[in-house]
Structures are given as C-alpha cells and as structure tokens.
Structure 1
Amino acid sequence: MNNPKRVRWDIWFVITLSTFALFILFFVFPVYKIFINSIYDAETKRFTLAAFEKFFARQYYTSTIWNSLKVTLLVTLLAAALGTVLAYIMRTVKIKGKGMVEIIIIITVLSPPFIGAYSWILLLGRSGVITKFINRLFDIEFNGIYGFYGILLVLTLKLFPLIYLFVSGALKNMDNSLNEAAENLGSVGLHKIVKVVIPLILPTLLAASLLVFMRALADFGTPMLIGEGYRTLPVLIYTSFVAEMGGDAAFAAAISVVVVIMTTLIFLLQKYISNRSTVEMSALRPMEPEPAKGAKNIISHLVVYLVVLLAAIPQAVVIFTSFLKTNGRIFTSGFSFDSYIHAFSKMGSAITNTYLFSFTAILIILVIGTLIAYISVRKKNVITETLDTLTMIPYIIPGSVLGIALLAAFNKKPLLLSGSAFIIIAVYVIRRLPYTIRSSSAILRQINPSVEEAAQSLGASPFKTFRKVTLPMMVPGIVSGALMSWMTVISELSASIILYVGTTRTLTISIYTEVIRGNYGVAAALSAILSATTVIALLLFFKITGKKEIQL
C-alpha cells in the first residue's frame, strides 16, 4: 500500500522542487532579507536592535500600531454588522432588482479602495459638493471627512461586501427546516436570529471578519489619501522607506517585521478558529426569499437600496466626473472628453503597462497555480503540503512590506531586478497566486481520481494523463481563478508604488499620483478606465463560470 506522505522521484517531484525553489527565491528570501536588514547596521557591519528601539521608544511611532488596530477593529465590526444584515435581508426577503444589487456589491469588492477615498474627497472633501452644500445650508465650517472618520467610512463601505458574500453563502447552505423548528418552539424575529441563525453562521462570520480585518490593516491608499496625519502602519512603512531609503533602511525594515509578525498571528488565529468551529451544513430545503408585506417590505427595500447606493457612489462619481470639463485642478460647467484625451496622451504608457504586466503575470499564475494545485491535491507529501501553506502567506502580508522585501533582495548584482518590469510582475504573481490555486484545487477535488487511473491503465504516462484528461476537466476552475487573480492584479497599488520607476508606472499609480497633485479630471478618467476593465472582466467571469456569484 502506497504511503501518501512518501516522496516519489518522478516528473511531478521535479515540478514540486522547481516551484518550491521559485517561492524560496521570490518570497522566503526577500522576507528573510527584511528580517536581516532590520537588525543589521550596514555602516558598522554589526547586528543591532537600534531600529526596533527607535520604533518602540517613541510614542509617535508606537501610536501607529494603536491607530491601525483601532481603525481595523471598528471597520471589521461595522462591516460585519452591515454585511450580515444585508445578507439576511437578501436571503429571506424578495428584493426587486436583486440581480443588479448583487452585481454592484461584487464590483464594490473588486474595485480599488483608494478610488473610494478619491470619490469621497470629491463629495466630502474641503471643496467637495456635499461639503459646500452643508456649509451653506447650516452656515458652518465643516472641513470634510479627512482623518479617522473618513478612513472608517471608506473602508467600511469597501469591505462590508466581503462579509455579505461569505454570510450569504452560509445562509444559502442553511436548511430552512431549522428556522421552521425554531418558530414552532416560539422563537421568532430577532430572538430566532440571535439564538439560531447567528450561531450556525458564526464560523463563517468570524472567518470573513478576520479577512476584513487583514485587508483593512494592510490598506495603504485610503489612509494615505484622506488620513491627513492619522498614521497607520502601511503609511508609516511607505513614508519611512521613501524618506530614509538612503540613510536608515533598517527602520523601514523593522516596521515591516512588526507588521509581518502581526499579520502572521492573525493568519494563525484565523486557521485556529476555522479548524475549531467549522459547522458542516447541507441544505435539503435551502432558505428562499419570500415576498414581504407592509412595513417589513418597505424597510427591507430601503435598507438594501440605501446601503448599495452608498457602496456604488465611488463608481458613479468617477464615471460622472470623468466627463466634466476641467481647467486642470477644478471642474467647470459642461461636459467634454478632455480628461480622457489627456489621460491617453500623457498616461498612455501607464495604461499599456497595466495590461501588459497584468496579462504576463496571469499567464505565469495560470501555469504555476495549476501545477501547485495539482501536486497539493494529487501528490501529497511533506514538501507539497509545505508549498501549499507557503503560497497562502503572501496573501496576508501587506503589499508595501512585500515590495520593500523584494527591493531588499534584488537591489544588487547578480540579481539586480529593481526598477525593472520583472520585479513588478513578480510581486503580482506572488501576491495573487492564491486565487488560482484555491479555485483550481476546489475543482480538482471534484474530479474522481479513478478517471486518471483508467487513463494510466490504458498506457498513458502520469504527465500525459494530466495534460490530456485532468487539465481539460480543470479548465473552468482554472479560468475563474485566473480571472479573479487578474481583477485584483490590475488594482494593485501598495506593492507597485514601492517598486515602480518612471517606465513601469501603472494605472493605479497614475491615479494615486494625479489625486495627490489635485488633477481630479485625469484621475477620474483613469479610474473610469480601471472600473470599466473590472466590470468587463467580471462579466467575462460570469459568462465562463455560468454563475452570478464569486468565491473569495
């Protein structure tokens, strides 16, 4: 009897070692360099903890940890409450236009967070439309949403759809007979939700909440654009690295180490909770939305439409303002295509780079992700299991940290990659590979191994069996995962803003820099192009998979 843990020397073992070596080179080694740089003084050539002492000795720096935790905890709580309420209403009440509502929610998940920040600046910034209206109406001096509350608003509206998607899936798998049994025992309304529904979906809710927490903790663009002095860890890492790259790179590395330790602990907590509190549900009679009457129907529709409207505002604002006339920094009356003309004439290379880099990254992700998924499911041993875990870790590490890690590792010969397109593509592949791996693994587990055994019994080699039999059956999962990877690649900012040079500028970097400069018309045009790309990719995803939902 074959031991599944035993290592067998064949072509799959060579592939395993090759992919493992790639991850050691482009992930393990860069992270190792960050740890070394944080404790090594290049001038004295001695190991020291001076960088950590500098960070922990001054409240100016340590308060950033509390700032990050405060905003992420509140964002997580608000997003969890908002997403759960919305999911429950959508799953139990028949809402008019439900299909469009869910598409808007999914687009909100996939759009870059900093576009939301930019849109709210146009509405509630110091010169925003709503800000001016409030000041005139109430004769006050409202200075906009900058700072803590602005970050809270933008990230909550950006991330609550994650909770919605996870909780909606859990409710879909919940058998309606449980609700009926609770009602027969006198548990109705809020009491039923608290005592029956919430405990059943709690594992999913906790896992989704931890995912929201990690995304909020790692976000760079939102606090950078509207924080105005409210420092979070990703912003501190970026500003420290940019300001001190020539003199004290160890300090930026030390902050990165602190963040890596924090995110790793959160990741381990997530795995612990998932393993301890998983509830298996099989819905023989799934919950179905039913028409509501009276106040319940009105309130349900108002809640859903209001929440979705707030979530959709950023997309609507960028599209609308992209067609407004502008004199550079200020929108004037009337409509024109000037912003698009300027965007293509001045930022054309950034648009080209975005598609070139992202498509190249996806081709690499397709190959590596498919191979890792296959060996982790079909060729289980200690190496493949380690590789499977290793490929998930970049998903939880902030992009700014990974960007600095790659620069630390590949800033000198013989591996001088800094400033090249290759290093941008490498960070895309490392960060977004998990989507394709998980999607490919999921569909592979649905394929009976006996199909492959039958092919091999007829004389086909293991690798030929994979190419001719297994791979074609995996295509739907591979393509859907690749599309998800691509939609997140094109919105990448935090890592690429560390790694880019003038010739490797992308759409997200251009949008960010134009917002910083106050060129809102061009920023709106570039944002509209990015949003349109996301929508087209999403519609393609729906067409290929034949479904109107995504798994994150």
Structure 2
Amino acid sequence: MRDCMISYSNERVSYKDTLISKLKENIIFILLYAIIITFILWPIISVILNSIFIDGRFSLEAYKQLTLKSTKLLYNSFLVAALSTFFAIIISIIIAIYMTQIKGILKKFIYILLLISMISPPYVDSLSFIILFGKRGLITYRVLHLHLNPYGFIGIVIMETLAHIPRAALLIIIAMKSIEKNLINASKDLGGDDLSTLFSIVIPMAKSSIIAASLICFVTSLSDFGTPIVIGGGFNVLATEAYLNITGVSNIPLASAMSIFLLIPSLILFIIYRKQMMQNKVYSYQIVDSSNSSEANNLNLPIYIKSIIIFITFFFVSIVILKYATILAGSFATFNSGKVGFTLDYFKEIDRAKLLSFKRSLYYSFTAAIAGSIIGILLSYVVERNKLKGAAFLDFTATLPYMMPGTLFGIAYILAFKNPPLVLIGTSSIVILNCIFKQLPMSSKAGSAVLSQQSPEIENAAKDLGANNFYMLKDIIFPILKPAFVTSFVNIFSSTMVTIGALIFLVSPGKEVATVQLFSAIKEGNLGVGCVLANMIIFATIIINLSVSSLLKLQFSKE
C-alpha cells in the first residue's frame, strides 16, 4: 500500500513538473510572439496605414503622386540597383574563383581586406572617391591636372558596386570552398576540361549563395540614400527622395508610399530566393568537411582566363588598399598652395559632441549585440525544436526586417512609436530596439543553422533522465549554440556600429551616433574630420570584435 502511494506521488510530481515545464516553454513563446509583433509587425503595418490614410481618411493620393511624379525616381533606383548588383556579383564570382585556387599569406591578406571592408562605416568609399577623384581630387586635379566632374549616375554605380563586393565575395567563397572534391574529379574523369568544370560544376553549385548575395546587394542598393546625396549631383533615387520627404518637407504619407514601393521588389526577390534554396537543398547531401573541399588549385584554367581573374582581383585589392590608405592619410594630410602637409587640426575638431556620439555608438552596438543574440537564439530554439503552432509565422515575421530597406524600417519606427501607449521617439530605446530587430534575422538564422545540424536525440535523452526544459536550455541548448552567439554578437555589433539608414531618422538632436556625425561631416565638405571619424569607427569595431570574440571563445573552451 505504501509503495503504491509513493508511486502515485512520484507520478503526480512528474506530471506537475511536466506541466510547469510546458508552461515556461509557452511563456517564452508568448513573449517572443509579443515582442516580434510589437517591434517588427506593428511598425510595418504603421507604414502601410500612414500611406493610405491621410488626416484620418482613406486616400491613395500618396500613391498617385508617386506614380505621376516619381516614375523617373523609380527608374533611377532600379537601374542603379540592377547595374551595381550585376557588376558586384560578376567581380565577386571572379574573386571567389581566385581565392579558392590559392593558399598562404596572400589568401589571408585578401580575406582580411574583405572582412575590414564589411565592417567599414558607410560612405568610406564615397569619401575616398571625393578625395582622390573629386573636382579638386588628389589624382584627377593635383596629379593629372584634369577638370572632371565625377558626380552623378556613374559615380553612384561605381561606389555602390565597390561597397557590395566584399560581402558578396565572402558568401560565394564559402560556397565554392565547400564543394566536394570528388565532384570536380568526376567531371574531369568524364572528359570535361577545367574550364567546362568551372561553368558546369563550380558556379552552379554556388548558385544559392550567388542568389543570396544578389538579393543582399539589390536590397541594400535600393535603400541607399547617402551615396546619391554625397556624390549623386543632380541624379536622385527613390530612397533619397523618401529621406528628403521626412527630413525636409515632412510629407509622411508620400515617404511611406515610397518606402512601400522599395519593399515590394525586396519581398519578390526574397520569395524567389527561398524557392531556389528549397530546390537546391539536395546539394547539402553532396557536401562533406573542408578537408575534402575543392579548394587549392584543382582547376588548371587557360592562361587567358587566369590572367583576367588575377587582373580583376588585384585591381579590386589595389582599390581597397588605396581607399583605406587615403582615409588614414586624410586624417593627417592638408593641401596648401599645391603642397601636401602634415596636420593634427582635424583631430582638434573632434569636439565633445563627436566624442559623445562615438561613445553612444559603442553603447548602442554592445547593448543591441547582447540582447539581439539572446533573442535570436531563443527564437531559433522555438522554431527548430518546439514546433509550436504559429512558429512558422513567427519565423517569417522575424525575417521581414532582413528584406526591408533600412530607410523603411527607420520610418516605420517613427510612425509606430510616436503616440501612446508606447512612445519611444527621442529615447535611446528606439535606436537600440531598431538595431536589435533589424539584425534579428542574422542571429536567429545563425542559431537555426547550428541546431539543424544537431540531432534532437540529445535533448530527448535529457528529458528521459528527468531534465525539464529550463535546465535543458541552460545545460544543453545554450552550450550547443555558443558558436552562434559569438557569430551573432560580431554581426550585430559591426552592423550597428556602421549603420545609418534607419538611425538617421531615429536619433534626436544632441544624441547623434558616430555614423550620423560622419555623414554630416562629408555632406558639409569637412573631409578631414570625416576621415578621422571613419578611422575611429573602423579601429574600434575591429578591436572590440576581436576582444569579445577571443574572450567568449576562451570562456567557452574553459567550460
């Protein structure tokens, strides 16, 4: 009788523990649902509502104005985005081919250049371009004595192409490195030469990454308002006009309509990308570890092809080196009567306001990186493991900021949080929250990528041994996701340090961040001050990323 009572008591405790565990699990899911709806879905809905309701009444006047007066802007936007994406992808594929055919110090050096280019603040390309090739440029005017006007359509396409290449090249390099060596050998055994193997095996196998890189380039180009403002001259695009309608004439409905127009092609491209990813999913079964990759001189291409690849790669590398050398030297150099001199005057112009903006950027970036990484990891666990009803919708909604232009997400936050019950305009919170949820897809996908490679049997075994979900998260899931946490931290911190698209709308006077100060300095013609600010952002981002990554990895290895 006593044994029966103990058994019954244990069953009751077990049921109670299971119930509490499920309740905690559902609470996490509900909290994630609430914050994602509040800080992602509601801002998007606010933009749509503000574009079709003017003074409280339904109206499509903003869209009429857009179609009648802004057709040229639409054409300009798509033309710049299409051309810069096309050139960036072609050059990135060439660089990726070269990088998978070499080894040693040279390869590491090019990798470092690509990584530094990814964490550079916006308009560094434009800043160096103006210094070197502007109307009074160091090369065009002072060396070649040419009176050229580099501003306009061609300048924008060149600058955006150069800005897109590093990220696109790294994505494609990763894909090409992971191609199984046996596929290359099989192609050769079947009579294919190295050139045909390149076009029939290597490039098609990297198709998913090429499409992903194209999507990122196109969306980024559509949302770029700063480059056209800095070097566009009289050439305007839709993102620039949306920015001016917010900051200049305060035409919120028209700016909202313009932002929606920028979102539509991004959504279409994202759907195409997802379909392509599903179709190409079979390739993952053909990929093995890096020791069996196709890297390191497996393709003996014709000499003329090799020459073209080497020339284009080193031409790009030379441009990158020249760019950063110009930015570094521009912090100390001055021109008087045609002579180059040394000066520290630009550093003296870094006043208290600029230093505070730099400190503010560090604080926002660090806070967003920690919070965004934790939320992203929890989201990936809910989506990949719990499979609760509504998890797919949650995942899709969380992915929306990734395909949204930064300008749209910034305008969305202004419209969503300017009125009660949640007023955030003018606070630090609106900036941090915007950065967290703009970069949330990167952290959640990093977590999902790790979890998708781990068998759930480990968690099932823990449950069988009596572990509830809280301890399973703490002792199993989080340790598994430590690499994803480091990756997420670096991505979010770097992106927040160098972003401006959304933040320029959200920061209030006297509370600017470093990139906004950089943008203002370039726009006002203070190029030396701009160089100093750019160097501060670049070096701080590199040092903190390396320090935090090393610290976290050291801590993880001890555990």
- Aligned partner of 1:111 in structure 2 is 120
Alignment partner of 2:65 out of 54, 76, 79: 54
Deviations 1:25-51 (A, max 9, x none): 122112111111111121xx3211111
Instruction: Give the Å deviation of 1:269.
Output: 1.8
Instruction: Give the Å deviation of 1:469.
Output: 2.9
CA distance in 2, matches of 1:480, 1:226: 34
Residues 95 and 301 in structure 1, CA contact (< 8 A), matched pair in contact too? no
- Aligned partner of 1:479 in structure 2 is 486
Instruction: Give the Å deviation of 1:509.
Output: 0.1
**Equivalent AA in structure 2 for residue 339 of structure 1:** Y
Instruction: Give the Å deviation of 1:323.
Output: 2.2
- Structure 1 204/299 Cα, relative in aligned 2: closer, same or farther at 3 Å? closer
Deviations 1:263-305 (A, max 9, x none): 2122112212222344333247422323989967776554432
Instruction: Give the Å deviation of 1:420.
Output: 1.3
Moved more, 94-103 or 281-290: 281-290
Q: What count of residue pairs does the alignment treat as equivalent? A: 527
CA distance in 2, matches of 1:141, 1:320: 23
TM-score (norm 2): 0.88
- Aligned partner of 1:314 in structure 2 is 323
Alignment partner of 2:357 out of 346, 350, 354: 350
**Equivalent AA in structure 2 for residue 445 of structure 1:** S
- Structure 1 361/198 Cα, relative in aligned 2: closer, same or farther at 3 Å? closer
Instruction: Give the Å deviation of 1:444.
Output: 2.7
| 2:341 partner SS | strand
**Equivalent AA in structure 2 for residue 191 of structure 1:** S
- Aligned partner of 1:171 in structure 2 is 176
CA distance in 1, matches of 2:260, 2:109: 43
| 2:179 partner SS | coil
Deviations 1:330-366 (A, max 9, x none): 9974324332232154411101110111122223213
- Structure 1 545/447 Cα, relative in aligned 2: closer, same or farther at 3 Å? farther
Identity %: 27
Alignment partner of 1:424 out of 425, 428, 431: 431
Instruction: Give the Å deviation of 1:56.
Output: 0.8
Structure 2: runs of 5 or more not aligned: 1-20, 554-559
Instruction: Give the Å deviation of 1:497.
Output: 0.5
CA distance in 2, matches of 1:101, 1:428: 29
1:353-502 alignment, distance < 5 Å: 353-502=360-509
Moved more, 453-462 or 208-217: 453-462
CA distance in 2, matches of 1:220, 1:541: 32
**Equivalent AA in structure 2 for residue 41 of structure 1:** I
Residues 369 and 434 in structure 1, CA contact (< 8 A), matched pair in contact too? yes
1:214 aligns with 2:219: yes
CA distance in 2, matches of 1:204, 1:379: 28
- Aligned partner of 2:147 in structure 1 is 141
Alignment partner of 2:52 out of 39, 42, 60: 39
CA distance in 2, matches of 1:55, 1:70: 17
Residues 123 and 131 in structure 1, CA contact (< 8 A), matched pair in contact too? yes
Instruction: Give the Å deviation of 1:451.
Output: 2.8
Instruction: Give the Å deviation of 1:416.
Output: 2.1
Residues 403 and 495 in structure 1, CA contact (< 8 A), matched pair in contact too? yes
Instruction: Give the Å deviation of 1:545.
Output: 8.8
1:225-236 alignment, distance < 5 Å: 225-236=230-241
| 2:297 partner SS | coil
Alignment partner of 1:67 out of 76, 81, 89: 76
Residues 369 and 488 in structure 2, CA contact (< 8 A), matched pair in contact too? no
Residues 54 and 253 in structure 2, CA contact (< 8 A), matched pair in contact too? yes
1:126-137 alignment, distance < 5 Å: 126-133=135-142, 135-136=144-145
Residues 315 and 531 in structure 1, CA contact (< 8 A), matched pair in contact too? no
Instruction: Give the Å deviation of 1:406.
Output: 1.0
CA distance in 1, matches of 2:446, 2:140: 44
Higher Rg: 2
1:267 aligns with 2:270: yes
| 2:248 partner SS | helix
| 1:97 partner SS | helix
Deviations 1:136-178 (A, max 9, x none): 2xxx53112x111111111111212233222212221222333
Structure 1: runs of 5 or more not aligned: 1-7, 547-552
CA distance in 2, matches of 1:151, 1:134: 23
Instruction: Give the Å deviation of 1:391.
Output: 0.9
CA distance in 2, matches of 1:532, 1:40: 46
Instruction: Give the Å deviation of 1:407.
Output: 0.9
**Equivalent AA in structure 2 for residue 503 of structure 1:** G
Residues 68 and 232 in structure 1, CA contact (< 8 A), matched pair in contact too? yes
